[in-house]
Amino acid sequence: MSVPGPPSPDGVLTRPPNSLEAGEPTPGIQNQVVLLDTLEQEISKFKECHSMLDINALFTEAKHYHAKLVNIRKEMLMLHEKTSKLKKRALKLQQKRQKEELEREQQREKEFEREKQLTARPAKRT
């Protein structure tokens, strides 16, 4: 019976080298080859299963971040609406103040004209 070859980088034993160059391998070596093939298939299935778990984790994480983005977008829209309302309100208040200031200025001018009318003027000589 031959000794299996050195392990590969991923830890799997490689097939033993065929020491019988001229003839058929012995049944023991054939059994080892079959077992190694089966083991390699099982390892590849295991790796595939792990990669599927990684993909599922990535999809879960993507859903989580998508939900966060949706919430941020909703919040941004809400803040945009609030700022628009505040800008409209500020504009109305500014227009109201300007109107009140104009009315006060007109009132001052009327009072000034009234005072001017009420001040005594020397009578004209005829």
Q: What is the pLDDT of residues 45-69, one digit of tens each?
A: 888 888 888 888 899 999 999 999 9
| pLDDT of res. 94 | 98
Cα 61 to Cα 4: distance, rounded to the nearest angstrom = 43
Residues forming beta bridges with residue 122, ordered by sequence position = none
**Amino acid of residue 114:** R
Q: Is 7 exposed, middle or buried (0-12, 13-18, 19+ CB in 10 A)?
A: exposed
Q: Which residues of the chain have pLDDT under 50?
A: 1, 19-20, 22
**Amino acid of residue 90:** A
| pLDDT of res. 27 | 78
| pLDDT of res. 1 | 45
Instruction: Specify whether the CB–CB gap between 32 and 22 falls below 8 A.
Output: no
Cα 99 to Cα 95: distance, rounded to the nearest angstrom = 6
Q: Is 46 exposed, middle or buried (0-12, 13-18, 19+ CB in 10 A)?
A: exposed
DSSP for 23-88? SPPPHHHHHHHHHHHHHHHHHHHHHHHHHHHHHHHHHHHHHHHHHHHHHHHHHHHHHHHHHHHHHH
Residues forming beta bridges with residue 7, ordered by sequence position = 13
| pLDDT of res. 74 | 98
| pLDDT of res. 51 | 82
Q: What is the pTM of this model?
A: 0.47
| pLDDT of res. 60 | 94
